[in-house]
Structure formats: C-alpha cells, structure tokens
Amino acid sequence: MQASRANGQNTAPARPFKSVHVSKTLIMSDLKNKSEQKILAILLTDIAEKTNWGSPNGWNTSDFARLRELITDASGVQLSVTTLKRLYGKAEYSSVPNRSTLDALAIFAGAKNWRDYGINLQAKEAEKVPVIEERKTQNSGVARRKILPAAAAISTAILCIIFALSYTNSTDENKPVAYNSDDFAFSVKTVAEGLPNSVVFTYDAAAAPPGAVVEIQQNWDAERRQIVSQSDSIVTSLYYTPGCFKAKLVVDNQVVREEDVWIKSEDWLAVIDTEPEPRYFSDEEIRHAEGIGVTPALLTQKGILQSEKSPPVSLFQVRDFGDTRVNNFTLETVLRNRADANIFPCQRAQIILYCAGEVVIVPLSAPGCIAENHLRVLDTNYSGSNTDLSAFGVDFSENVKLKCVGTEKNLTIYLNEKAVFSAPMHAENRLTGIRYNFEGAGIVADLRIENGEEAVYFVELLSRF
C-alpha cells in the first residue's frame, strides 16, 4: 500500500544570487538514462539562474507558484506547484517528469523543446574540447590545424546524434498502447466525513504488460499523478481541502478508468495553506457583519504573520447544487480582498468553480498586475501575458460584483454589471462547488447560484453593494 498527500502567488522579489545547487534528492531515476538525468539537472540550474531568486533550497511555495506562472506564460503549459517542488527536491512525490513537462521547462529556458535543449547543451559541451598544443614537427603543422577543428565538429555531431537517438527511442517506448478499459478496475472510497479526509483508491492493472507505467491522477491537473505499483491494488491519499475531482487510473499515459472524488465542505470552510499542514478556521471565526471570510485581524489573532510570501486564504462552498450544469447556470457573488495593499500590492483573488472534474478560474487583481493573471474555462487557459485581461483589474477598496452566465455555446463573465469576457464552452458538466482564493485576506458578501430560472443556492450576507 502506498500513501500520498493531496492539496487542493505571490511575486517573489529578486534575491542576491551567486550559484545554484540542485538538491540531490531530486527524483529523476525514472528518466531513460543518466545522460537525460544530467541534462535535466543542468536545465533546472539554468532555470534557477534565469529567475535570479537565489538557491532553490531557499525557495518557498510562493516562489514555486510564481515560477509556474512564468513557465505557463512562456510555454502555454500549466505545471503544478507540486511538480516543480518535486523536481527541485522540495517535496516527496513519485511521479515521472513526462515529455510535456520537460518541453515546458526547456521552452522557459529558451529552447524550442526538451530535445532541442539537449542537443544545444551537447553542442556546447563539445565546444569545450581542449585544444592540444601544436608541436612543430616536420610536415605536421598543417595537418594538426586541420585535424583539431574537425575532431571538435565530429564530437559535436556524435553527441547530438546520441541525444537525438535517445530521445527518439524513449519517445517510441512511450507511445501509448490502445488499452481496453474493460480489462482494468478502479474505485474510490472516502473514509470519513469532513476534513482532513483520506481517500482509498482500489485498482487492478494486472492487464498491463510488464514494465508499464501505472499512475493515479487525483484531479483535473494532469501533473498531479502518482506512480503506483502494477502488482499492488490499493493506494491512499490525504485530502486537506474539499472539492469534486475526477480521479483517473492511467496506464502508459492513457486514461483507462475514471471515478469521481467528491469531498464536501458541509457549509462554509476557511483554510490557509500553511506548511506543513493547512490551518482551519471555525465557523464562528469567519462570520462577520460584512460577510464570510478571513480578516487581517483574525490572522493576527491566530498568530499568522502576514508577508508577501504568505500562503493564500481559501473559502469553500462545496455541496450538492442539484442538476446545475455549466451550459445553463448563473452565478452572482460579491467579494472583496481585505489584504493590506502595502504588503500585497496586487491584492489578488481567484474564484474557482468546480465543474465535475474540470474547473473555471476567474482571476482578479489590482489593475497594474493583470499581466500575471491566468483565466481558465474548463480545459482552456488564457494567460494575461498574451490575452487582454485588463478588465479583471479591479479596485478592492470597494466590494466587487462578479457574475458568470453559462449557456450551451459560451461562458460570459461580468464585473460590476459589465460584460468583460466571453469564451466558447460546449460542455454539460455539473457545478459541484465554489472556491475563493485571497492573497492576504478576503470576504465574501453575497453568493447566488441559479439553475436556469430557479435559485438553487442563495446567501445574502450583505444587503448593500
């Protein structure tokens, strides 16, 4: 039996930088050969040098969250914070860096992809071939001047061919096999009510050939995969936050089975993602005259110091909203980031809609910070670096009203009664929960969810807007 932990941005200032040491605990043993392991270690060092944030040994969760945003902006691939922490030896996690992860890292470092980075690196190493001092012997001077440059060129070509063949072979080996889902079994079971909560995954992957990579993906994020033993049948995960997730049994990168993991919040739940474990707030602590949420005063009272590296505060309402689906719903909410603008100048907030295995993420921030915002509509990401998300820059000195309307064709987002964004959306996923993330602190004043014309959830916490 195996066990793991499952969970669930601040801009990190530049720090003095001299050299980068990549932790020896880096999990790379599953890469195809030692050459690729060495290349990945160098790539991670190059990335750390590019950030100029100092040694990764001193990075915290906020730094890795910021790195994730930078990599997404450069590559269009959204890696998880857990994956990045694992690669730098900051988290225990037994998944293998897949090709899309390696490509995203390489693109951020300035290459076209992982293969291109490796070939360029091998070429640079070949250029470092030491020049043998010429010996002036009769009839040999001209020959040596020709042979040495030629040897360097041949070495470069050989090394590039070796890496190219290594890449090709590993790619061929990783080509997905057309597995029959009927040959596999997969089920999930929660063991308690409330949070934290453990989930038991029972699986049967005996039909996979010897050497197949068997993984369990815990939610919508493909980077959140855990390698499991093909000969085993049970693995458990500890969930600290609620949500509705689509867990998957994956064999050789092919999803063969799916099951819903639905961990409800009962009512409102407030959490701050501190290390090593999150901290919860009681219902009495989060209910105020102005709404539901966590204030700076409450954080001070609980002894939680506020700084630009503080983890976000999250509010959850994960429950049964009936047959409310994304192609026919309206959500209206009023919220406000209550963080000190002197500590958190961007005053970021996210509204996350859980949609039966997928998510909609609406980002809000101070107007000057919209370039680093990321909006997601089910399986499509929109980055502030190449999408105009300026309308999501708001003034949190006042309450902000957000409205989302889903139809059979698209999702339209309104801010303070004005339509600001519309994206195509052709899906029928059920709405299973809502989550608010606040940088620093935040309050939710109103929330109303309608299924067509019928209100399925309504809480008016603050009558004025």
- pLDDT recorded at residue 36: 74
Supply 201's token pair. Answer: 């995954």
C-alpha to C-alpha distance for 306 and 340, rounded to whole angstroms: 9
CA distances from residue 43 to 78, 163, 241, 410 in whole angstroms, order as listed: 18, 15, 33, 40
Supply 222's token pair. Answer: 């493909």
**Contact (Cβ atoms closer than 8 angstroms) between residue 72 and residue 374:** yes
- pLDDT recorded at residue 281: 96
> What's phi and psi for 414, nearest 5 deg?
-115, 145
HEC profile of the chain: CEEEEECCCCCCCCCCCCCCCCCCCCCCCCCCCHHHHHHHHHHHHHHHHHHCCCCHHHCCHHHHHHHHHHHHHHHCCCCCHHHHHHHCCCCCCCCCCCHHHHHHHHHHCCCCCHHHHHHHHHHHHHHCCCCCCCCCCCCCHHHHHHHHHHHHHHHHHHHHHHHHHHHHHHHHHCCCCCCCHHHCEEEEEECCCCCCEEEEEEEECCCCCCCCCEEEECCCCCCCEEECCCCCCEEEEEECCCEEEEEEEEECCEEEEEEEEEECCCCCEEEECCCCCCEEECHHHHEECCEEEECHHHHHHCCCCCCCCCCCEEEEEECCCCCCECCCEEEEEEEEECCCCCCCCCCCEEEEEEECCEEEEEEEECHHHHHHCEEEECCEEEECCCCCCHHHECCCCCCEEEEEEECCCEEEEEECCEEEEEEECCCCCECCEEEEEECCCEEEEEEEEEECCEEEEEEECCCCC
Count Cβ atoms below 10 Å from residue 65 Cβ, excluding itself: 19
Domains of the chain are 9-175 (no CATH), 181-263 (2.60.40.10), 269-460 (2.60.120.200)
Say which residues have a Cβ less than 8 Å from residue 199's Cβ, sequence separation at least 6. Answer: 6, 188, 189, 190, 191, 236, 237, 238, 239, 247, 261, 263
Say which residues have a Cβ less than 8 Å from residue 306's Cβ, sequence separation at least 6. Answer: 296, 299, 300, 339, 340, 343, 440, 441
Count Cβ atoms below 10 Å from residue 94 Cβ, excluding itself: 14
- Residue found by looking up tokens 């005996």 in the block: 206
**Contact (Cβ atoms closer than 8 angstroms) between residue 233 and residue 203:** yes
Supply 76's token pair. Answer: 């269009």
End-to-end CA distance of the chain: 52
- pLDDT recorded at residue 126: 59
Mean pLDDT by 10 residues, the chain (465 residues): 49 37 41 68 90 86 85 83 82 65 90 86 64 44 45 49 48 62 95 90 93 84 78 90 89 91 90 88 92 94 85 92 92 95 94 91 96 91 91 96 96 97 92 94 94 77 43
C-alpha to C-alpha distance for 364 and 367, rounded to whole angstroms: 9
C-alpha to C-alpha distance for 452 and 294, rounded to whole angstroms: 32
Residue 359, CB half-sphere, CA atoms under 13 Å: how many? 23
Say which residues have a Cβ less than 8 Å from residue 414's Cβ, sequence separation at least 6. Answer: 401, 402, 403, 404, 405, 420
**Is-above-0.85 flag for pTM?**
no
- Residue found by looking up tokens 């001299």 in the block: 18
Phi-psi region of 142 (alpha: psi -120 to 50; beta: other; left: phi over 0): alpha
- pLDDT recorded at residue 2: 55
